[in-house]
Amino acid sequence: MIISAWSDKGGQGKTTLAVNIAACLKVPLIDLDPQADAARWAARVGHPCTAFGEETEPEEVAAQIAPKFTSKDLVVVDCPPGHHTRSLLGMSLSRLTIIPVKSGDADLAAFGRAIERVQEIRQRGNPDLEVGVVLNFARGTRWSHVTHEALSRKTAQFHYLGEIGLRQSVEDSYRHGKTLLSMGGATAHEFRSVFQHLLDLNLF
């Protein structure tokens, strides 16, 4: 079974979620993004990760990922942003895809495109694909609060998992090779809440 992290637009924080969720679940991480940020972070944390570089042919990536779709063993997959072939592969084979979103206008527009893409994948062969949404880099602004309120309304399109604030400790966790939980403080508290909401979905 696959949990993927994906966003239509880069810089939303999908890699942060992928690495930390895999670490909390104690399951393998697969890095499909040629930039390999998740693989580098996982190596620093000491968490198992399989990475596919740019030189890996799409057919080889598909052959490695496809069996995970029906496997009982859970893996977390960090997908490239946008409509990269690997992104669509990772999402189309997922039980759950987690989409981080920021509250900026361009970010919300990208989130709208992401939900449309998810609907296409559901219609084309993965009707059970679930979506979890995290408001990332949340600020103490009125617009951030409005975005939080909008995302938290009940909808059939996605599950709102909560928010993670714009904090230096998130960057520090990557730099020092630590998980968000090990950093402690407000960031750990927020991520713990997001993770608990993820568990409450009872999808795995």
DSSP per-residue string spanning the chain: -EEEE--SSSSSSHHHHHHHHHHHHT--EEE--TT-HHHHHHHHHT--EEE--TTS-HHHHHHHHGGGGT-SS-EEEEPPSTT-HHHHHHHHT-SEEEEEE-SSHHHHHHHHHHHHHHHHHHHTT-TT-EEEEEEEEE-SSHHHHHHHHHHTS--SS-EEEEEEE--HHHHHHHHTT--HHHH-HHHHHHHHHHHHHHHHT---
pLDDT at 193: 96
Among 21, 12, 130, 8, CA closest to 75: 21
| Residue 164, token pair as written in the block | 């993670």
Residues in the chain: 204
Q: What is the pLDDT along the chain (204 residues), one digit of tens a residue?
A: 999 999 998 889 999 999 999 999 999 999 999 889 999 999 999 999 999 888 888 888 889 899 999 999 999 999 999 888 888 888 899 999 999 999 888 889 999 999 999 999 999 989 999 999 999 887 777 777 888 788 888 787 899 999 998 778 888 888 888 899 988 888 899 999 999 999 999 998
Q: Which residue segments constitute the domains of the chain, with CATH numbers given? A: 2-199 (3.40.50.300)
What interhelical angle do 85-92 and 105-123 show, nearest 10? 60
Task: Give the type of residue at 112.
Answer: G
94 Cβ neighbours under 8 A, 6+ residues apart: 2, 3, 4, 69, 77, 126, 129
175 Cβ neighbours under 8 A, 6+ residues apart: none
pLDDT at 105: 86
Distance (Å) of CA 118 to CA 49, 65, 175: 25, 19, 32
| Residue 188, token pair as written in the block | 């750990």
CA 113 to chain centre: 16
51 DSSP β-pair partners:
31
pLDDT at 7: 94
| Residue 151, token pair as written in the block | 């995302």
